[in-house]
């Protein structure tokens, strides 16, 4: 067996105590000196272990105060939302339906936090498998002067790549909401299903914000629920 570094060993021991609820949420851990005595190692090793724990999100180190146990849950899952991964067996081709400049409606004004009269770049794609449309994605980006949309921007990539490439932001935040919907009639036309068909669709709303919380892009991906499965595993 590979011998673990001492500080990792100690980090693991403290982790177990947090898991076992011996160190409870928001409680302060013993001081570095005390931990050092407890595991008979130097303060430096303890420090390294605590830093490791902070990186993993178990504790919160406050300078001059101490280390505090963060809120912790074992129901946190890492979901892989790569498009090839959520559509069973992937898709065959992508059809660009339209790319246009639109004036936002009330919904978009709310989601993109833009002025009601401003302009929005709106791109629609249809994902096809076995010559049947199975998913529909709409993307919105607030337009500002100087933003150039080239042909290469219309190839289908994920939203983060697209937005980061356009705005060259290096710090961004994301939010994702997963919902289940019955598509409205206009969407049914695009997806070539009859108006009487009430297949459910999975709606994945993805937003990218800059560091000040201003939305840079918003996408709505709707996938036929027959073909969609979102998988993940517990990250503990």
Partner 1 sequence: MINEKNYMTSYENIFFDIKCQIINGYLKSGDKLPSIEELCKIYNASNITIKDSIKMLKQHGYVKSIERVGNYVNEKKILQYKFEINEIDCLKQKPDRNKIIRIELVNGDMISDEIPLRIANSYYYVKIEQIHYFGELPMMYNIFWLIHSKKINVEKLNKSNWIHTILGVLNNFEIVKDLSLTVKNNLPEMESILFLPKMAPMFEITKKYYTKKNAAVGFSRHYAACDDMDIKSI
Query: Tokens 């791109």 map to which residue?
Result: 123
- The nearest distance, CB 102 to partner 1, in angstroms, is 27
Please give the structure tokens belonging to residue 83. Answer: 């498009």
- The nearest distance, CB 36 to partner 1, in angstroms, is 26
Please give the structure tokens belonging to residue 55. Answer: 């990186």
Q: Which of 186, 178, 181, 167 is nearest to 231 (CA)?
A: 178
Positions touching partner 1 (CB under 8 A) are 19-20, 73-82, 158, 160-161, 164-165, 168, 170, 174-182, 198-202, 212, 225, 228-236
Residues contacting residue 207 through CB under 8 Å, at least 6 positions apart: 111, 174, 175, 176, 215, 217, 218, 219
Which residue number, 41 or 85, has a Cβ lying nearer to partner 1?
A: 85
Which residue number, 41 or 72, has a Cβ lying nearer to partner 1?
A: 72
- The nearest distance, CB 187 to partner 1, in angstroms, is 14
Which residue number, 16 or 43, has a Cβ lying nearer to partner 1?
A: 16
Size (the chain), residues = 236
Please give the structure tokens belonging to residue 190. Answer: 């695009």
- The nearest distance, CB 110 to partner 1, in angstroms, is 17
Which residue number, 101 or 236, has a Cβ lying nearer to partner 1?
A: 236
């Amino acid at each position: 067996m590979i011998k673990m570094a001492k500080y990792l060993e100690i980090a693991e021991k403290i982790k177990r105590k947090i898991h076992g609820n011996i160190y409870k949420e928001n409680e302060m851990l013993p001081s570095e000196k005390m931990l050092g005595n407890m595991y008979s190692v130097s303060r430096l090793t303890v420090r390294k272990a605590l830093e490791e724990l902070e990186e993993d999100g178990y504790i919160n180190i406050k300078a001059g105060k101490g280390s505090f146990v963060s809120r912790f849950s074992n129901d946190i899952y890492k979901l892989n939302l790569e498009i090839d991964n959520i559509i069973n067996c992937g898709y065959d081709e992508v059809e660009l339906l339209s790319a246009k400049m639109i004036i936002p409606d009330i919904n978009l004004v709310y989601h993109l936090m833009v002025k009601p009269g401003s302009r929005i770049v709106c791109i629609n794609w249809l994902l096809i498998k076995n010559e049947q449309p199975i998913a529909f994605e709409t993307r919105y980006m607030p337009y500002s002067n100087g933003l150039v949309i080239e042909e290469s921007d219309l190839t289908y990539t994920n939203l983060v790549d697209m937005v980061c490439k356009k705005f060259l932001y290096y710090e961004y935040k994301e939010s994702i909401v997963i919902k289940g919907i019955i598509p409205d009639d206009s969407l049914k036309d695009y997806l070539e299903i009859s108006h009487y068909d009430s297949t459910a669709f999975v709606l994945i709303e993805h937003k990218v914000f800059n560091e000040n919380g201003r939305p840079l892009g918003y996408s709505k991906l709707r996938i036929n629920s027959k073909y969609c499965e979102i998988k993940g595993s517990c990250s503990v």
